[in-house]
Amino acid sequence: MNASKPALRRSLKSDLARVDAHVVKQGEYDDLPELTDDMLARAKVKRGGRPVSENPRKLLSIRLPVDVIERWKATGPGWQTRMADRLSKVR
């Protein structure tokens, strides 16, 4: 890493100053159809993000011996899910 070079800023790759300076003219939106009640009735709102889980998880803080954690970690990726599955079977 070269500390003498400044880090590059992320860019939106659009000219926001030009967009902000644009003034909407009278006939610019004449081609767009009028918004009707039928159009609004057919509209669907799509929410972003992950879907709601049927079996949501709850954050819990628990202290376990280091050797227990290391044995689970040694089983590879997904060890926390496998641990949760094993604990859910012990009822």
> Does 39 reside within a domain?
no
22 is a domain residue? no
Decide if 79 is inside a domain.
yes
The dihedral built from the CA positions of residue 47, 49, 51 and 57, taken in this order, carries a sign that is: negative
Per-residue pLDDT tens over the stretch 7-42? 666 666 778 888 889 888 888 878 788 889 999 999
Q: Per the domain annotation, does 29 fall within a domain?
A: no
pLDDT at 32: 80
The overall average pLDDT reported for the chain is: 85
Is 21 inside any structural domain?
Answer: no
Task: Tell me, yes or no, whether 12 lies in a domain.
Answer: no
Q: Annotate 48-75 with DSSP letters as a single string.
A: -SPPPPSS----------HHHHHHHHTT
Instruction: List the one residue out of 88, 66, 70 whose CA is nearest residue 79.
Output: 70
Cα gap 50→40, rounded to integer Å? 26
pTM of the predicted structure, to 2 decimals: 0.43
* Within a domain: 44: no
What's the number of domains the chain is made of?
Answer: 1
40 is a domain residue? no
Residue with the two structure tokens 């879907």: 51
